[in-house]
Amino acid sequence: MTQDGSKVERTLSIVMSALVLLCGSARSVDRGAPPTPAHDVLDTYFDMKVDDPYRWLENGDDPAVKRWSAVQDARTRKYLDGLPLRKPIFERLWRQISKTSSSFYSLYVVGNRIFAFYNQPPKQQPMIVLLARELDPSKAQIIVDPNALNPKGTTAIDWFVPSPDGKRVAVSLSDNGSENGSLHVFDVASRREIGEVIPRVQYPTAGGSVAWRADSTGFWYTRYPGPDRPAAEQHFFQKVYFHRIGDKPAKDAYALGEDFPKVAEIFLDNRFNANHVLVTVANGDGGEYAHYLIAPDGSTRQVTHFEDKVVAAVIGPDDQLYLVSRKDAPRGKLLKLDLAEPSLERARLIMPESQYVIQPGGEFGGEPVVVTSRALYVREVDGGPSRVAVFDHDGIPQGVMPLPDLATVDEVEPLWDGTLLYSIRTFLRPPYFSRYDEASGTAVETQLAQTSPVSYPDAEVVREFATSKDGTRVPLSIARRKGLKLDGSHPVLLTGYGGYGLSQTPHFLGPDVRLWLDAGGVYVIANLRGGGEYGEQWHRQGALTQKQNVFDDFAAAARHLVSQKYTSEEHLAISGASNGGLLMGAALTQHPELFRAVVARVGIYDMLRVELDPNGAFNTTEFGSVKNQEQFRALFAYSPYHQVTEDTRYPAVLMATGEHDGRVNPMQSRKMIARLQAATVSGRPVLLSINANAGHGIGSALSIRANQMADAEAFLFDQLGMKLPSEPSPPAPAPQAGEGRPIARTSR
């Protein structure tokens, strides 16, 4: 909420005077920023002493830190809410978001019915619905509605799994974007919750998961240690337990996990074959996996180990285990193993490595391989865009599923009649599902399609390549108005991620990018190393001691946009979140002259202290550890917090964090902002926004996300001198999906 300016200034003065008395000297070069006390705190790593002057800002429970945070947030709100463009930008975005149609995702087929997440703006949270066989969105039945459970909109569904008989659904619920979930079971027919809540099943460190028994009488689930274990272990040591419907959770039996690593991340799956449960165990976030099987009698058996480089697996309805291996195949090859004798040495190669990368799936993706009685469907990526290749059960190619250019597929769901639903995402059209007929190899669009009040008939997305410091070609997807004159004058917003093997794939650009283009801007996504766009080698070249390659790729992308006269340094802005927030911190400290403005959300900035947090410990397999001398030197060399230098002309900066973030400690943003405010001499603002009802962004209420979007847009418009364009007239109605329009068979 906006506060009166004089009140903010009085509060700031009182609080900061008190802090200086308590903590010692304070410095702020950023005009108008509160001076932040600094201490001489020295840490020794091997033969190096490292200063950490804002260590005191790590303790979020300290009343002094709370007061400091409140003043910082109040200053940011005063700036943002005082911008003449902020209110009309929010109103336009909210109006367009609210008029966006409902959408369906995370489909789960049970018999001839489909469970799905259902998003219906302007409701704050997605719901769980049931679709009948005719796939008519208007007949969707709401099974679980978190908006009704909590009218504030701050309760979210982390994930759900229906029982094989379709009579019950297990749901993880959490509050305030915390992703700290408890397991609830709902009866589908009555919509009522049954049984007792099972706590500690989900947390941002290792996530959470459920797999039902084939007879629907109970389920295996993940659980974290209880209060009987030390607090430092609460978000580690995830294990698997079995719960029988009707029993007290206290009676649940341990099943698996005692020998797993401290940073194990467990995913349970039996959706395509309920008789066997596949247990995928990740060794933290670095891309190492082991696989186990839970047999129908509850016995367990290990199939792969971390060193085997099997990065994904799926059990088919044919009682075969399909494994994506990267051993001597960084883009992936497909193996097949009979469950009757599940020893990896008996697996046979059915699909060798190709020019395409088999997507490993993981936390934010669907299954890499979908098996039907007729064929195998393999999700593949090629530098960003993706495709679905079709093979017979012995790996003989049968073509590809029809797709438009520059598209991606997140979900492939076999139905009961020899067809499959598959999601299609492109940059310039809202997401939709098509229905693929296995017999004919053709597809038609369905009614499961989102519509939006914004459209892009005057825009195009082109692919260009920047050349990185070591000669690597880095793909760029550039969204621009058709006929754009390349004269160096356009505001450009460049974004990227580059981590964890996650690929930046096409997605609908939405209302905020539409506004950016209408104001004369250009929007660019860089496919950086560290991601998975070109396979495991691409990932590894941007991980551990080679992480600097990611930042070099991003700088090369920025220079490409300047050299090709899309923009100039004075009109170039960058934006990123989480690992992309780290990217922003590294970019602005290594190349402050390249950028005019930076938006960084929930970012990591102190690379020497991040592993002390629970989720940071999981990240050591991706980033490295200060306990290893070579990795420490690499971490220190790019750690944004430690590379801030005094009396430097830094860009304008807006950082945002949430108090309930279990993935990245909010102290990362607090410390980085304090150091930047004390160092910058550009006269441009360095701002911190802290949301008390949000976490990392997953599960945040729709209104929170819309306000954060408006904050970023207003900040960038102000800093780059952009004007708010008049709102265009609504486009003429386009033919709606679901009219049976065929999609031509294509191949890429």
Nearest-angstrom CA–CA distance, 189 and 181:
24
Residue with more model confidence, 14 or 586: 586
Task: Report the candidate in 138, 137, 133, 181 with the shortest Cα–Cα distance to residue 156.
Answer: 181
Nearest-angstrom CA–CA distance, 325 and 316:
17
What confidence tier does 229 reach under pLDDT thresholds 50, 70, 90?
Answer: confident
| Greatest extent of the chain over all pairs of C-alpha atoms, in Å | 77
- pLDDT at residue 5 above 80? no
Residue with more model confidence, 1 or 51: 51
For 33-88, the DSSP string reads SPPEE----EEEETTEEEE-TTGGGG-TTSHHHHHHHHHHHHHHHHHHHTSTTHHH
What confidence tier does 734 reach under pLDDT thresholds 50, 70, 90?
Answer: very low
- pLDDT at residue 532 above 60? yes
- pLDDT at residue 556 above 90? yes
What confidence tier does 4 reach under pLDDT thresholds 50, 70, 90?
Answer: very low
Residue 235 has which token pair?
């978000």
Mean pLDDT, rounded, of the chain? 91
443-449 vs 103-110, strand pairing mode: unpaired
Nearest-angstrom CA–CA distance, 254 and 426:
44
pLDDT score for 727: 77
- pLDDT at residue 746 above 60? no
The edge-to-edge listing of strands for the beta sheet with 522-526 is 459-467, 473-481, 522-526, 492-495, 572-577, 597-601, 652-658, 686-691
Q: Do 313 and 270 contact (CB within 8 A), yes or no?
A: no
Tens digit of each residue's pLDDT (9 = 90 or more) over 417-467: 999 999 999 999 999 999 999 999 999 999 999 999 999 999 999 999 999
Tens digit of each residue's pLDDT (9 = 90 or more) over 122-159: 999 999 999 988 899 999 999 999 999 999 999 999 99
pLDDT score for 660: 82
What one-letter code names the amino acid at 92?
R
pLDDT score for 134: 87
Nearest-angstrom CA–CA distance, 250 and 246:
12
Measured from the Cβ of residue 521, the count of other Cβ atoms closer than 10 Å reads: 25
Which residue(s) pair with 244 in the sheet?
A: 218
Which residue(s) pair with 376 in the sheet?
A: 371, 391
* Residue indicated by tokens 């949000």: 694
In sequence order, the 6+-apart residues with CB closer than 8 A to the CB of 559 are 466, 594
pLDDT score for 396: 95
Rg over alpha carbons for the chain, rounded to the nearest Å, is: 26
Q: What's the angle, vertex CA 151, arms to CA 145 and CA 154, rounded to 5?
A: 85
- pLDDT at residue 13 above 60? no
In sequence order, the 6+-apart residues with CB closer than 8 A to the CB of 78 are 2, 3, 5, 8
Residue with more model confidence, 489 or 367: 489
pLDDT score for 677: 97
pLDDT score for 84: 96
Residue 745 has which token pair?
């068979």
Nearest-angstrom CA–CA distance, 663 and 686:
23
Catalytic residue among 578, 669, 682, 689: 578
pLDDT score for 16: 42
Q: What percent of the chain has pLDDT over 90?
A: 85
Tens digit of each residue's pLDDT (9 = 90 or more) over 277-330: 999 999 999 899 999 999 988 999 999 999 999 999 999 999 999 999 999 999
What confidence tier does 737 reach under pLDDT thresholds 50, 70, 90?
Answer: very low
Tally helices (H) and strands (E) across the chain: 13, 43
> Reduced to 3 states, what is the DSSP secondary structure of residue 734?
coil
- pLDDT at residue 12 above 60? no
Residue 361 has which token pair?
């799936």
Nearest-angstrom CA–CA distance, 215 and 468:
55
What one-letter code names the amino acid at 690?
I
Task: Report the candidate in 446, 357, 721, 695 with the shortest Cα–Cα distance to residue 571.
Answer: 721
pLDDT score for 30: 75
Indicate if 393 belongs to the active site.
no
Indicate if 696 belongs to the active site.
yes
Nearest-angstrom CA–CA distance, 630 and 642:
17
Give the helix/strand (H/E) hosting 550: helix 548-563
Task: Report the candidate in 378, 350, 382, 354 with the shortest Cα–Cα distance to residue 366.
Answer: 378
The edge-to-edge listing of strands for the beta sheet with 277-283 is 264-269, 277-283, 289-294, 300-304
What confidence tier does 659 reach under pLDDT thresholds 50, 70, 90?
Answer: confident
What confidence tier does 232 reach under pLDDT thresholds 50, 70, 90?
Answer: confident
Tens digit of each residue's pLDDT (9 = 90 or more) over 182-210: 999 999 999 999 999 999 999 999 999 99
What confidence tier does 692 reach under pLDDT thresholds 50, 70, 90?
Answer: confident
pLDDT score for 180: 94
Beta strands in 417-539 (DSSP E): 419-426, 432-437, 443-449, 459-467, 473-481, 492-495, 522-526
Nearest-angstrom CA–CA distance, 44 and 636:
12
For 4-35, the DSSP string reads -HHHHHHHHHHHHHHHHHHH--EE--STTSPP
| CA dist 497 → 407, 469, 533, 691 (Å) | 19, 18, 12, 23
Nearest-angstrom CA–CA distance, 142 and 126:
10
What confidence tier does 697 reach under pLDDT thresholds 50, 70, 90?
Answer: confident
* Residue indicated by tokens 């139905």: 415
What confidence tier does 698 reach under pLDDT thresholds 50, 70, 90?
Answer: confident
Number of residues assigned to the chain: 748
The domain spans of the chain are 5-95+454-720
- pLDDT at residue 661 above 70? yes
Task: Report the candidate in 122, 116, 176, 183 with the shortest Cα–Cα distance to residue 150.
Answer: 176
Catalytic residue among 276, 539, 560, 696: 696
Question: In this structure, which CATH number among 2.40.110.10, 3.90.1640.10, 3.40.50.300, 3.40.50.1820 belongs to the domain 5-95+454-720?
Answer: 3.40.50.1820
> Reduced to 3 states, what is the DSSP secondary structure of residue 255?
strand
| CA dist 301 → 20, 67, 282, 321 (Å) | 60, 53, 16, 13
Task: Report the chain's terminal Cα–Cα distance, integer Å.
Answer: 50
Q: What's the angle, vertex CA 667, arms to CA 25 and CA 686, rounded to 5?
A: 65
pLDDT score for 362: 57
- pLDDT at residue 22 above 50? no
Query: For 623-651, what is the mean pLDDT?
Result: 97
Nearest-angstrom CA–CA distance, 383 and 553:
14
Q: Do 461 and 448 contact (CB within 8 A), yes or no?
A: no
Task: Report the candidate in 273, 275, 347 with the shortest Cα–Cα distance to residue 314.
Answer: 273
Nearest-angstrom CA–CA distance, 97 and 92:
9
* Residue indicated by tokens 């880095």: 474
Nearest-angstrom CA–CA distance, 178 and 139:
32
> Reduced to 3 states, what is the DSSP secondary structure of residue 280?
strand
Alpha helices in 564-619, H assignment, sequence order: 579-590, 614-618
CA trace torsion 133, 134, 140, 141 (10° rounding) = -40
pLDDT score for 729: 55
For 246-257, the DSSP string reads TS-GGGPEEEE-
pLDDT score for 8: 37
Question: Rounded to 5 degrees, what are φ and ψ at 131?
Answer: -105, 135
Residue 158 has which token pair?
């982390």
Query: For 75-96, what is the mean pLDDT?
Result: 96
pLDDT score for 17: 40
| CA dist 1 → 66, 76, 119, 390 (Å) | 17, 11, 26, 53
DSSP state of 529: B
